[in-house]
Structure 1
Amino acid sequence: MIPEKFAESTIAREGDRGRAWIAELPSIVDDVLSSWNVEPDGATMHGEVGIVIPVAGDRVVKISFPHPGNDYEADAFEAWGGRGAVRLHQHDDARYALLLERTHAEQLIGLEDNDQIPAVAGELSKRLTIAAPDHLPRLSDRADEWYDEVRSGAAEFPDALPTRVVDAALDVVDELGREQPELVVHGDFHARNILRADREPWLAVDPKGYVGDPAYDGGTLLLPRVLPYLDSGDLATPLQRELEIFAEAADLDRDRIRRWAQLRCVQGSYYGRRNGFGRARSGVLLDRLVAAAEQLAIAWA
């Protein structure tokens, strides 16, 4: 029931703690299925940090590696109550387990119409933008972390980006990051976390669950969208078009989205240079992705 690839990647990423959790995971699965009185109804699937087990009744059990980034997933689903996101039926916080509405495997990223991707995402973002409950963590609490991250990246890679581009990212932290609206933010809003569904055409999954500026989610959406345009020779024009489509559909200020996206591109440049990306840890593709992030960081500064 535990996919081998998922076990290997978890241990590679998390070390001994990941190995211990993988060893315990079969008993966690048994306990969760038993306590919720559900039976497996299909092959176990997985993402980067969790497994998803289809169960009878058109639901799935999701069990995630215990990490602070997964602490508030259930809270976000509860706040939305099925509005633009999958419905939450049960949760076991100690085991990082959720019983969720089942969706299809098709991801929004798979659409061939590039304009439809930001349009659908924008419509969902608008529905997910609701008043936040008090107990969700605030994105604004991460502002100092972001500021230090950008400054340390600029010191480590001084030739990666012009000073004015780095300063523009720091201004985003100071001007948008430190005081933010009291609204629910998905926190990991990209086209792979939007799935085809039956109750609605598309539903969001895998939220981090923050309080903050919904334009931040727009910035998060745009950075992975470089991939369809890597061979075009012009990233800024199609990405600006997607930004504007998203902004209109989400009813958000396009300049705020652009500024958040610029910060995310600067962060992506430094992160990629240090660690690589999930799609490319080294080699030519990594170099191209880092160059793309830097091209957009300059264009949007």
Structure 2
Amino acid sequence: MMLVPEVFATLTTDREGDAGRAWLARLPGIVEDLLGRWRCHRDGSVVHGQVGVVVPVRRQDGTPAVLKVSFPHPGNVHEPDAFAVWGGRGAVRLLERDDARFAMLLERADGGSLADLPDADEAMAEAGRLARRLAVPAPPGLPRLRDRAGAWEGELPACDRRLGQPIPGDVLGAALATVRELVPDQPDTLVHGDLHAANVLRAEREPWLAIDPKGFVGDPAYDAFTLLRSHAADLLTAPDLGAALLRRLDVFAEAAELDRERTVRWAQLRCVRAALWGRDNGDPEWLVGMYDHVAGLLTR
């Protein structure tokens, strides 16, 4: 029977309370049942992210794969739908799915990630090329980013007022202009939604394969902000942070064949949202301060 990693158990119970404890008690049985149903055996140590465990396995024919089981959460509902649409093009292949249990059997890719690349610009370019491949027509039924525009337009100023107006007026105004002008006007394109460097794995079938998508529909430029956060440490040591930020976004936009201005504006909006969310949810002061600073530098 699988042992649930202690760190993962703590994360889950801290976040989900009694519902998390109840799910964790069922988790080993869920894994054993799925291993039997999908005719796999364990082939390595269990690893985990924030909301799910990943069990390396081998299928009956010896093919390596991973069994992923996530805590039932709205953010994970459309992950298998995104994998199904891509069909292995730029992302790991979906081999089996059990939506009721938030479980999938996936192609294994374990050769490292984009986070291992020492050159952050190279990582941004690789991510951009991958984002271009993942930008395919989306099926109906997936969450549209444009449907959030009305909520964001009200939430951002309300949250800013409640927190004592920490966001400068010009910075908040630029974010709200993006909400009004860009968020409602988006293509029906499948967007990864969480394309940070650790979610792009090196593989043999293709050089890089995406994992852990959210399965949004909208503007692929949405993912640029997540990638900026992936290499924040070296950005913060740049002699001219503003120029370094714009260069990174330029690299991503060119590789992904996206409009540069839209890419910058999306990153600025998401940075403002992160700064407000971080204050509301106890992020460290240094992180919130970084979001504040970057949002200001990206304000046009």
- Answering whether residue 295 of structure 2 is matched by residue 293 of structure 1, we say no
Q: Supply the distance in 2 between the matched residues of 1:260 and 1:243 (Cα, whole angstroms).
A: 10
Out of 25, 28, 51, which is 1:26 matched to?
28
Tell me the amino acid that sits aligned with residue 110 of structure 1: D
The one-letter amino acid paired with 1:291 is G
**RMSD (Å) for aligned C-alpha atoms:** 1.4
Matched, 1:144 2:143: no
Residues 1:189 and 2:195 are matched in the alignment: yes
> Residue in 2 aligned with 1:225?
231
Cross-structure match for 1:123: 129
- For 1:273, the equivalent position in structure 2 comes to 279
**Residue 7, structure 1, aligned to residue 9, structure 2:** yes
User: What is the percentage of aligned positions where both structures have the same residue?
Assistant: 52
Runs of 4+ residues deviating >6 angstroms = none
Over 3 Å counting, the alpha-carbon distance change for 1:142 and 1:159 in structure 2 is: closer
Structure 1 position 152, deviation (Å):
2.2
> Aligned to 1:60, what secondary structure does the other structure show?
strand
Give the paired residue count: 293
SS at match of 1:100: strand
Partner of residue 283, structure 1? none
Report what 2:78 is aligned to: 72
Task: Say if 1:289 and 1:105 are closer, same or farther in 2 by CA, change over 3 A.
Answer: farther
Aligned counterparts of 2:151 and 2:198: Cα–Cα separation in 1:
26
Partner-residue secondary structure (3-state), 2:40? coil
Work out whether residues 118 and 245 of structure 1, in 8 Å CA contact, stay in contact via their aligned partners in 2: yes
What per-residue deviation string (whole Å, max 9, x for no partner) do you get for residues 126-151 of structure 1? 00000111121211122223223311
Q: For the Cα contact (< 8 Å) 1:149–1:267, is it kept in 2?
A: no
- Flag structure 1 segments of 5+ consecutive residues without an equivalent: 278-285
Q: Which runs of 5+ in 2 are unaligned?
A: none
Q: 1:37 aligns with which of 36, 39, 64?
A: 39
Distance 1:220 1:213 in 2: 14
Q: TM-score, normalised by structure 2?
A: 0.94
Contact 1:226 1:292 (8 Å CA) reproduced:
no
SS in 2 for 1:115: helix
* Secondary structure in structure 2 of the residue aligned to 1:160: coil
The CA distance in 2 between the partners of 1:227 and 1:212, in whole Å, is 29
2:225 and 2:288 mapped to 1: Cα distance? Answer: 16
| Rounded Cα–Cα distance in structure 2 between residues aligned with 1:150 and 1:79 | 33
Quickly say closer, same or farther: Cα 1:37–1:65, change in 2 above 3 A: same
| More off after superposition, 166-175 vs 120-129 | 166-175
Letter in structure 1 aligned against 2:78:
Y
Q: After superposition, where does 1:48-67 map in structure 2 within 5 Å?
A: 48-56=50-58, 57-67=63-73
User: TM-score under structure 1 normalisation?
Assistant: 0.93
Equivalent residues of 1:235, 1:292 under 8 A apart: no
Quote the Cα distance in structure 1 between the aligned partners of 2:165 and 2:96: 50
Please tell me the residue identity of whatever aligns with 1:114: A
